[in-house]
Amino acid sequence: MKNMKYILFNIMCCLALMSCDSFIDVPPTAVIDEDTAFSNPESMVNAVYSALGNDWFTYPFNLWPYGDLASDDCMKGGSGTTDTDYHALDIWSAVTPMTPGHTDELWYRLYVAISRCNRAIISLDKYGENTLGAETAAKRKAEVRFLRGHFYYKLLTVFRQVPWIDEKVFAADSYEQTRNDEFTYAELWQKVIDDFTAAYTTLDMYPPSGEGGRVSKTAAAGYLAKCYLQMAWGDGYENSDGTGYQNKDYFNKVIEYTDYIKTATKYSYESDYGDIFMSDHKNGVESLFAVQHSEYTDDGTKFGRANWSNTLNGAWKMWSCGWDFHCATQNLVNAFKTYNGLPMFDEYDNVHNSYPVMGKSSSQKWDPRLFHTIALPTFPYKYESTVTADGVNTIFSTENSRNPSTYGYYRSLKEIPQRSKGETYNYPWQAFDNNDYVIRYTDVMLMRAEALIETDKLDEARIIINDIRQRAANSINKHIAYAADYCQISLYPASYFADKETARKCLQWERRIEMGMESSRFFDLRRWGIASKTLNKFYSSEKNDNYEGQSYGTYYSAGYFTPNKNEFLPIPYNQMYYVSGLYTQNKGY
């Protein structure tokens, strides 16, 4: 009997285990298994496009903290220096592998996006021709390679020495054995160029009609020009970068690819500078490639496809969730000063605390792009002087600063919509629907002008820069007529382009003014090999900021940029820790 009890007990245990196995083996519902996902390459490609906007204010893919805040254009903003982890970029001296901690999020999220690219390529290689046809499959693969190049471009721009993980590494499941020094910096750039070249040789000049967010041959040409321009100046560090380390062949590549862009006649300068940054001009003639964003009212979803990179950047009290980040510096405001319509290259910062005041006459004149780029007290906010339906006065004032004793009163305008359109997201987050430009036409033409100057074609460069300045001169009456009395801008006479050094100064100034607060300034300074000279001079003057008796910016007394170290961010500590001994840290950290 006892043996029978043991037998029955063992049978019951076996049945129970079999039952558990059956329960465990039930396929999950509302989940797509990997095989099914890979068999649908079009959906895999769509997932890659979706990754373009899968960012957040702690890991913004538009890189505004790394291109603007790290430069002389921008102060962090917010409630104070401890609000978010970005303060270290404001002064550089506090940057370490652990600070700012947000860099680890950026690294991780960009590699998540790259993983989507690799999966899509594998899917297209296996199922593309059968499901999409050979021609469409080839185009989709070229698009994905473009997008992978896009994400790697950002990684190289910020972190320099990164592991190259492509579809082969992914398929072999060897990414945790992939070193970040397997390829040199130049070899990594070449791999990115190979991805963009695949798009350039396969795609059509324009995206299909009605698909303005899809990549094209022209967009690939723009990115190839960006890559070669970066490489043309050296390796990114000041002791091996700048005017003594130029590669003329790479400058000629920039000219070659921008030659092609000039033949794409659907792209051009917007007639008014302000229209570039208005939501009703999305995918206009200026936009070669942009990350697409929308409001929830466009598609009936809870959040739409909001631009979460800029969610902190609305002005205080102008938006119910305006957290007041992305503040312009006094130095940037001063850079817009003109004398007889031309930049004040050497004297612009002599009178440091200088600014226009609405209704107050002044002999000092300004480039009109100032009033499109920066919200200034006493002037309309994003062109509007009204009281909105929800009771907000859109005349910008000192009340629209959250912490004036730290960050002053100047705020960024380009990435935000007009306030009269109302708010579309609930507290505590206010996101906007403005697209993020990746490649815009004027940026491309300035890259071309830069390459022309460095290859001694100064007259042609002057024509481009003067075309851009003429557009700025024509950009007063439509949006900023209220500031007309404060504006003066002229074209460069031939004497300013009689020698390369002066022409280079004109080009570098024009980039700062035209692209102000668009996440490019620090990367420009680094490329030209003048980051330490520019930023350390900036720290010494900006700590003395004052607006109508309110001092601010004193934290810049701790600012210092160390050349041959701070040109790039360190590999984040967490990434070094996860793969102990596998990654080599960037120089100086």
List strands edge to edge, sheet with 325-328. Answer: 74-77, 325-328, 411-412, 374-375
Neighbours of 535 (CB within 10 A): 24
What's the pLDDT score for residue 27? Answer: 52
What's the pLDDT score for residue 24? Answer: 37
Q: Residue 26, Cα to own-chain centre: how many angstroms?
A: 45
CA–CA gap between residue 562 and residue 238 (Å, rounded)? 10
What's the pLDDT score for residue 6? Answer: 39
Neighbours of 384 (CB within 10 A): 18
Q: Is the dihedral of CA 160, 59, 375, 418 positive or negative?
A: positive
Collapsed DSSP state (helix, strand, coil) of residue 241:
strand
Q: Is the dihedral of CA 70, 71, 75, 77 positive or negative?
A: negative
CA–CA gap between residue 381 and residue 174 (Å, rounded)? 52
> How is residue 277 written in tokens?
């940054």
Helical ranges in 323-426 per DSSP H:
330-335, 370-373, 404-407
> How is residue 48 written in tokens?
């890659």
Judge contact between 159 and 105, C-beta under 8 A: no
CA–CA gap between residue 317 and residue 118 (Å, rounded)? 44
pTM: 0.93
What's the pLDDT score for residue 301? Answer: 77
- Give, for all 589 residues of the chain, the pLDDT tens digit: 334 333 333 433 443 434 444 333 445 555 566 778 889 999 999 999 999 999 999 999 999 999 999 999 999 999 999 999 999 999 999 999 999 999 999 999 999 999 999 999 999 999 999 999 999 999 999 999 999 999 999 999 999 999 999 999 999 999 899 999 999 999 999 999 999 999 999 999 999 999 999 999 999 999 999 999 999 999 999 988 778 889 999 999 999 999 999 999 999 999 999 999 999 999 999 999 999 998 877 777 777 888 999 999 999 999 988 999 999 999 999 999 999 999 999 999 999 999 999 999 999 999 999 999 999 999 999 999 999 988 999 999 999 999 999 999 999 999 999 999 888 766 667 788 999 999 999 999 999 999 999 999 999 999 999 999 999 999 999 999 999 999 999 999 999 999 999 999 999 999 999 999 999 999 999 999 999 999 999 999 999 999 999 999 999 999 999 999 999 999 999 999 998 899 999 999 9
The answer for 422, left when phi > 0, alpha when psi is -120 to 50, beta otherwise, is left
CA–CA gap between residue 277 and residue 266 (Å, rounded)? 18
Judge contact between 400 and 318, C-beta under 8 A: yes
Neighbours of 517 (CB within 10 A): 24
What's the pLDDT score for residue 570? Answer: 99
What's the pLDDT score for residue 7? Answer: 37
